[in-house]
Amino acid sequence: MLIDNYAYSNRLKDVHPAEKLYFAMTTMAMGFIPNIYLNMAIVSMMGALLVFNAKIPAKVFLKTLLLPLWFVLIGILTIMINAVPAGSSALIKFSLLGITLGITQESIKASAVLFSRSLAMVCCLYFLAFTTPMVDIFIVLRSMKVPGLFLELMELVYRFLFVLMETSERIYISQSSRLGYMNAGTAVRSLGRLISSLFIKAWKDSESLYTALEARGYEGEVKVLTKKFPISIKNIFLITSVEFLLLVFAWLSGGGAR
Amino acid sequence: MSEYILEMRDVVFDYPGGIRALNGISMAIEKGKKIAVLGPNGSGKSTLFLHFNGILRPKSGKVFYRGQQIKYHRDYLVNLRKNVGIVFQDPDIQLFAGSVFQEVSFGPMNLGFSIPEVEKRVVEALKACGIEELKHRPTHFLSFGQKKRVSIADVLAMDPEVLVLDEPAAYLDPKHEQKLVELLEELCRKGKQVILSTHDVELAYAWADYVFVLKAGRLAAEGTPQEVFQNETLVKEADLRKPQLLEICDILKQKGFVFNKMPRNIPEFREELLIYVES
């Protein structure tokens, strides 16, 4: 939710969302080239853009980068450590329950590529998430002719996620101020009640929402007017050349781990 | 004969499960009057309002808009809802879009206006509610008072003839309540018909031209605020309270004070006092 805050206040919020989406997606596509140097270049480029152009505090960016790191580390550990044939030239070998496990040069390389690639992808997504409010992404998706029903659902889910969070927080506060979370027993009971009352409330509220929409002439399709953004040819040109430079860089640095 | 904008005759309404919400209500709302509907929680105020624009259909009885009986088919309802706008009590339920601009544009878009016209209406509605600067804010970052004003702008953007507000003053701080009253005054001056429900007897007494009192799905009383609130037995029966200003005036009257006109708010009261002191 912290990211959502920045999405509405960062310095790149008025750039056309399609440009940002184009940039994030093409850079992501570049990231699939198996080249550690290229991936690291993407990570630093996205980091620099977020910190210097979008003015996201570096500390915040690094902290959010730590979040997926654990997943990635656990993931690559399983790739790094493999069952190896008895006579092979592994760097480290050990036996577990009669199976020889080991780390080979190839497995290190594979995991390094995977690690840098996931980091690069995460940075591309973070760039989009930190600079582009969801509302703007919906605008682009709509112009890309994503089915209306699907988009409306996404929009409603996004809006009511916050209402749901606020409501559950209010229930939680009122429960804990009546000592609902004093010990494990009361906590389990309180949580159960919180969830069930949240469900009932959501059900009732959805009915009221329908009434409120109906009162304003809703006939099965949510029609709203969206904000307009200026399209900058300069930006599109800039993004395309950056992607081209990345491609050149990948070619020059020669594959890295191959 | 005066003209009635909305009228109900013997309206009965049951919620699923047989809970009777309205139990034979007949009322007529005179055009151009500021209307307040009073009544305790669960007396049927919100249910009544949902009948005004055809969201709920009475089990028996009739509802009239501009002297014409409401028909429950699509074309008629579209036109009715364009003319009778409801502002709901909880803005968190009414507001569904991601940004304020999108939210307010929903009504006029449904009415099928051209894009520039919708834009114009949204900007005007936001201006009328004093929240132009919130135009591109995400809905979930707004305070309660701001959400409330967005929910009013929602309906204003549709430019309805009748504006129905369900408990508009609930949870508002004194400053925002004052602003709300000013906004309602402004709307009335512009010729909009404003109907609101409230628990706040002071607000009803100071603002309304005519009040309806609901109790247990029935109309307990109606009349001008003076008539209604001076009827002690009625006030007690309908779980209301006498407005403090009226109470003070009554005490003064007993002491021999003569009012030219019963004051409805403090400035009027001060004027009366000054006139009395000078004479």
B105 with A160: Cβ contact below 8 A: no
Over residues B54-94, the pLDDT tens digits come to: 989 999 999 999 999 999 988 898 889 999 999 999 898 88
What per-residue confidence (pLDDT) applies to B29?
95
Q: Which residues of B touch A212 (CB under 8 A)?
A: 86, 88, 93-94, 96
B136 with A219: Cβ contact below 8 A: no
How far apart CA A88 and CA B77 sit, in angstroms, is 80
B102 with A213: Cβ contact below 8 A: no
A223 with B106: Cβ contact below 8 A: yes
Q: What does DSSP say about strands B162-165 and B193-198: parallel, antiparallel, or unpaired?
A: parallel
Same domain, B78 and B186: yes
Same domain, B63 and B193: yes
Cβ contacts from A onto B, under 8 A: 101
Instruction: Give residue B261's domain range.
Output: 243-279
B101 with A227: Cβ contact below 8 A: yes
**In angstroms, what separates the C-alpha of A219 from chain B's closest C-alpha?**
8
List chain A domain ranges.
2-134+230-252, 147-215
What per-residue confidence (pLDDT) applies to A256?
47
What per-residue confidence (pLDDT) applies to B27?
95
Contact B220, B213 (CB under 8 A): yes
In B, minimum Cα distance to A14 occurs at B136
A155 with B109: Cβ contact below 8 A: no
B88 with A138: Cβ contact below 8 A: no
**In angstroms, what separates the C-alpha of A27 from chain B's closest C-alpha?**
28
Q: Which residues of A touch B88 (CB under 8 A)?
A: 208, 211-212, 215
Phi, psi of B68, deg, nearest 5: -115, 135
DSSP codes of every residue in B166-206 = SSTTTT--HHHHHHHHHHHHHHHHTT-EEEEEES-HHHHHH
Question: Is it the case that residue B223 has pLDDT exceeding 90?
Answer: yes
A8 with B94: Cβ contact below 8 A: no
How many domains is chain B built from? Answer: 2
Nearest CA among B101, B194, B196, B189 for reference residue B153: B101
Question: Is it the case that residue A250 has pLDDT exceeding 90?
Answer: no
What per-residue confidence (pLDDT) applies to B148?
92
Over residues A125-165, the pLDDT tens digits come to: 999 999 998 888 888 898 888 888 888 888 888 888 888 88
Task: For residue A173, name the pLDDT band (cuts at 50, 70, 90).
Answer: confident
In A, minimum Cα distance to B112 occurs at A223
In B, minimum Cα distance to A222 occurs at B106
What per-residue confidence (pLDDT) applies to B162?
95
Same domain, B224 and B279: no
Q: Which residues of B touch A158 (CB under 8 A)?
A: 98
What per-residue confidence (pLDDT) applies to A118?
92
What per-residue confidence (pLDDT) applies to A255?
54
How big is chain A, counted in residues?
Answer: 258
Task: Name which of B80, B99, B150 to mutate to probe chain A: the one with the most chain A Cβ atoms within 10 A of its Cβ.
Answer: B99
Same domain, B85 and B145: yes
Q: Which residues of A touch B93 (CB under 8 A)?
A: 205, 208-209, 212
If interface means Cβ-Cβ distance under 8 Å, which residues of chain B face chain A? 50, 53, 55, 78, 81-82, 85-86, 88, 90, 92-99, 101-103, 105-107, 109-111, 115, 118-119, 122, 136-141, 154-155, 158
Which CATH number is B130's domain given? 3.40.50.300
What per-residue confidence (pLDDT) applies to A121?
93
The residues, ordered by sequence, that sit 6+ positions from A239 with a Cβ below 8 Å of its Cβ are: A19, A22, A23, A26
Over residues A77-128, the pLDDT tens digits come to: 888 887 777 666 777 777 777 777 788 888 888 888 899 999 999 999 999 9
How far apart CA A50 and CA A6 sit, in angstroms, is 11
ipTM at complex level:
0.75
Rg over CA atoms, chain B = 20
In B, minimum Cα distance to A214 occurs at B55
pLDDT, greater one: A222 or A129: A129
Question: Is it the case that residue A254 has pLDDT exceeding 80?
Answer: no
Tell me the pLDDT of chain A averaged across its residues: 86
How far apart CA A38 and CA A68 sit, in angstroms, is 20
Out of B78, B81, B109, the one facing A225 most closely (by C-beta) is B109
What per-residue confidence (pLDDT) applies to B1?
55
The residues, ordered by sequence, that sit 6+ positions from B145 with a Cβ below 8 Å of its Cβ are: B172, B173, B176
Over residues B259-276, the pLDDT tens digits come to: 888 888 888 888 888 888
Q: Which residues of A touch B97 (CB under 8 A)?
A: 155, 159, 222, 224
A212 with B107: Cβ contact below 8 A: no
How far apart CA A75 and CA B65 sit, in angstroms, is 67
Across the range B194-222, mean pLDDT stands at: 92
B98 with A208: Cβ contact below 8 A: no
Task: Name which of B110, B117, B137 to mutate to probe chain A: the one with the most chain A Cβ atoms within 10 A of its Cβ.
Answer: B110
Q: Which residues of A touch B94 (CB under 8 A)?
A: 209, 212
What per-residue confidence (pLDDT) applies to A86?
65
How far apart CA A160 and CA B93 sit, in angstroms, is 9
HSE at residue A214, side-chain half, CA atoms within 13 A, is 15
Q: Hey, what are A32's tokens?
A: 């699939």
Task: Name which of B102, B113, B163 to mutate to probe chain A: the one with the most chain A Cβ atoms within 10 A of its Cβ.
Answer: B102
Q: Hey, what are A172's tokens?
A: 């939680």
Q: Which residues of B touch A213 (CB under 8 A)?
A: 96, 106
In B, minimum Cα distance to A160 occurs at B96
Question: Is it the case that residue B48 has pLDDT exceeding 90?
Answer: yes
